[in-house]
Amino acid sequence: MVLRVGRRVRVFGDLERASAALARELAHDAAAAVRAHGRFRWVISGGRTPLPLYAMLADAHRSGFPWAETEVFFADERCVPPDDPQSNFGAAWGTFLSRVPIPRRRIHRMLGELRPRSEAADRYARLLGPLPHPGGDAPLFDAVLLGIGPDGHTASLFPGHSAVRERKRAVVATAPGSLPPPVPRLTLTLPALSSARKVVFLVAGSDKVSAISQILRSGAKGNPRWPASLVRPAGTTEWFLDRAAAAGVPAAGRTSR
Ligand code: 6PG
Strand 196-203 and strand 236-242: pairing?
parallel
- Residue 252 is predicted with a pLDDT of 67
Task: For residue 36, report the distance from its CA to the centre of ligand 1, in Å.
Answer: 31
Helix, strand, coil share of the chain (percent; to 5): 35, 20, 45
Please name the residue whose Cα sits nearest to atom 12 of ligand 1: 149
The number of C-alpha atoms within 13 Å of 57 and in the hemisphere containing its C-beta is 29
| Segment 103-121, tens digit of pLDDT | 999 999 999 999 999 999 9
Q: How far is the CA of 146 from the centre of ligand 1 (A)?
A: 8
64 vs 173 pLDDT, higher one: 173
At residue 236, the 3 state secondary structure works out as strand
Using most ligand atoms within 8 A of CB, pick from 151, 154, 161, 201 the residue to mutate for ligand 1: 154
pTM over cut 0.85 = yes
pLDDT of residue 209 exceeding 80: yes
* Across 27-36, 117-126, 187-196, 218-227, least confident range: 218-227
Q: Is the CB of 46 under 6 A from ligand 1?
A: yes
Q: Is the pLDDT of residue 6 over 90?
A: no
Best residue for ligand 1 mutational test, from 19, 49, 87, 88 (most atoms within 8 Å of Cβ): 49
Long-range Cβ contacts of 26-33 (<8 Å, 24+ apart): 26/57, 26/61, 26/65, 26/143, 26/145, 27/61, 27/64, 27/65, 29/142, 29/143, 29/198, 30/65, 30/66, 30/69, 30/70, 30/142, 30/143, 31/65, 31/66, 33/142, 33/143, 33/197
| pLDDT of 18 higher than 70 | yes
Q: Is 177 in the pocket of ligand 1 (CB under 6 A)?
A: no
Quick check: CB of 155 below 6 Å from ligand 1? yes
Q: Euclidean distance between the first and final Cα of the chain, in Å?
A: 31
Distance CA 179, CA 152 (A): 11
Q: Looking at residue 242, what is its pLDDT?
A: 98
Q: Is the CB of 147 under 6 A from ligand 1?
A: yes
Residue 202 alpha carbon to ligand 1 centre in Å: 10
Largest CA distance in the chain: 49
- pLDDT tens for 23-78 read 999 999 999 999 999 999 999 999 999 999 999 999 999 999 999 999 999 999 99
User: Which segments of the chain does DSSP mark as H helices, in order?
Assistant: 15-37, 51-59, 88-95, 117-128, 190-193, 209-216
